[in-house]
Structure 1
Amino acid sequence: MSLYIDADACPVKEEAERVATRHKCQMFVVSNGGLRPSQNPLVENIIVDAGPDVADMWIADRCGRGDVVVTGDIPLAAKCVEAGARVLKHNGEALTAANIGNVLATRDLMTDLRAADPFRQGGGKGFTKADRSRFLEALEREMRAAARQ
């Protein structure tokens, strides 16, 4: 069992490291660089080449059944679910074979709506303490489930 973190813009790296350490699980923090490396021997920082989706491809090529992936990238999540990994968004929402199709369709629809209205203002909602707490609870649950696989 390994824990993969799509680390660029990930707000829960420290929380994920604590859970991985508790489970004595290897954690891969994958990014294009610019992150402070962890001194934890269970954490391996993977720096990939700059470019679109390079970190995503690194994770997708390696994850599989019994692994847990943390990402906000929906196309990456779909690839990981297809490979048999358990996938969580940063807010603790699980992405599974049962819901990934709808999540992808919604993402595509929202992309089209944003493209159709270039004057649309605002962004996503902020990351809250409740999101962080939900993530920790969900990651613990997914790590236990992955260990049983």
Structure 2
Amino acid sequence: MKIWVDADACPKVVRETLFRAAERTGVECTFVANHYIPVPTRTNIRSIQVQAGFDIADNEIVQRCEPGDLIITADIPLADEVITKGALALSPRGELYTKETIKSRLNIRDFMDTMRASGVQTGGPAALSQTERREFANHLDRILAKSR
């Protein structure tokens, strides 16, 4: 198993959790973004910078991931694509996306896009709570333990 991170909007605290997990377990962890992401100097942790543009980083992750890999993303369409490909998808807030839940999440996302397009101010996401940070770390630990 490899970990692929949609790093363009990945919170720093989540990146740090992933750095520690990769160092502890030796799992390969790759951060993909359209800007430079500093990573620790380790053979199993790397950063890939792609061109700026809509979904360029997402497309790179979809192209490179394999069944059984873990993708860290808050991007619902990306999560849907990698799940269809046989990978796992975990949000930085600790939500494990599944085949059973991803379609309803896509519907909610599309509804919110429609609301924003009609002029409704929906605001951005709240800051990560301690509970969400803990949920993320716990899900990550369980997934890594299963993969061994």
State the SS of the aligned residue for 1:135: helix
State the SS of the aligned residue for 1:18: helix
State the SS of the aligned residue for 2:145: helix
Tell me the TM-score normalized by structure 1: 0.91
AA aligned opposite 2:56: V
- Taking a change above 3 Å as real, the CA distance of residues 65 and 121 of structure 1, as seen in their structure-2 partners, is closer
Match of 1:94 in 2: 96
Match of 1:8 in 2: 8
Match of 1:80 in 2: 82
| Residue-by-residue CA offset, 1:63-116 (whole Å, 9 max, x unaligned) | 122211100111110011001111100011000111111110110011111221
Q: CA RMSD in A?
A: 1.4
Q: Tell me how far apart the structure 2 counterparts of residues 85 and 114 of structure 1 sit (CA, whole Å).
A: 30
AA aligned opposite 2:95: E
Check if 1:137 corresponds to 2:126: no
Q: Tell me how far apart the structure 2 counterparts of residues 96 and 138 of structure 1 sit (CA, whole Å).
A: 13
Match of 2:106 in 1: 104
Match of 1:42 in 2: 44
Q: Is the 1:68–1:143 contact (alpha carbons within 8 Å) kept by the matching residues of 2?
A: no
Gaps of at least 5 residues in structure 2 are none
Identity %: 36
- 1:121 to partner: Cα distance: 5.8
Gaps of at least 5 residues in structure 1 are none
Using the TM superposition, name which of 38-47 and 80-89 deviates more.
38-47
Match of 2:71 in 1: 69
Q: Tell me how far apart the structure 2 counterparts of residues 121 and 95 of structure 1 sit (CA, whole Å).
A: 23
Tell me the TM-score normalized by structure 2: 0.92
State the SS of the aligned residue for 1:143: helix
State the SS of the aligned residue for 1:17: helix
- 1:18 to partner: Cα distance: 1.2
**Greater relative CO, 1 or 2 (CA 8 Å, sep 6+):** 1
State the SS of the aligned residue for 2:43: coil
Q: Is the 1:31–1:47 contact (alpha carbons within 8 Å) kept by the matching residues of 2?
A: yes
Give the number of equivalent residue pairs.
146
Using the TM superposition, name which of 77-86 and 35-44 deviates more.
35-44
- 1:22 to partner: Cα distance: 2.0
Q: Is the 1:38–1:45 contact (alpha carbons within 8 Å) kept by the matching residues of 2?
A: no
